[in-house]
Amino acid sequence: MERLETFLEFNTNLFLYRNVYLGGNGKVEKIEIFSEKKIDEITLKIIENSFCIKLKCRFIEKKDWVELSRIKFKPLKIGRFFISSSFYAEGAPINKVLLVINSGLAFGTGHHFTTKCCLEMISYLYELGFVSRNSIDVGCGTGILSLAVAKLFRSRVFAVDNDQNALEVTRKNIEKNSVSNFVKVFKSEGFNGSSLNSTGRYNLILANILYKPIKRLLLDFYKNLEPNGYLILSGLNKKQSKDIRNICLFFNFRLVRQQSEDNWSGLLLRKV
Three-class SS state of 259: strand
Band (pLDDT 50/70/90 cuts) for residue 5 is: confident
Is-contact 270 28, C-beta < 8 A?
A: no
Is-contact 156 184, C-beta < 8 A?
A: yes
Report the C-alpha gap between 270 and 172 in whole angstroms.
32
Better-predicted residue by pLDDT, 130 or 263 = 130
CA 24 to chain centre: 25
pLDDT digits (tens, 9 = 90+) for 24-61: 554 556 777 878 778 888 888 888 888 888 888 888 76
In the DSSP assignment, the letter for residue 219 is H
Report the C-alpha gap between 31 and 21 in whole angstroms.
9
| Whole-number pLDDT of residue 99 | 93
Q: Above pLDDT 90, what percent of the chain? A: 52
The pTM for the full model equals 0.75
Amino acid at 240: Q
Three-class SS state of 202: strand
Domains and CATH numbers, the chain: 2-51 (no CATH), 107-271 (3.40.50.150)
Report the C-alpha gap between 161 and 189 in whole angstroms.
7
Phi, psi of 161 (to 5 degrees): -155, 155
CA 157 to chain centre: 15
Residue 13 has pLDDT above 70, yes or no: no
| Whole-number pLDDT of residue 105 | 52
Report the C-alpha gap between 226 and 120 in whole angstroms.
22
Amino acid at 237: N
What is the residue-averaged pLDDT of the chain? 85
| Whole-number pLDDT of residue 22 | 46
Residue 18 has pLDDT above 70, yes or no: no
pLDDT digits (tens, 9 = 90+) for 211-222: 999 999 999 999
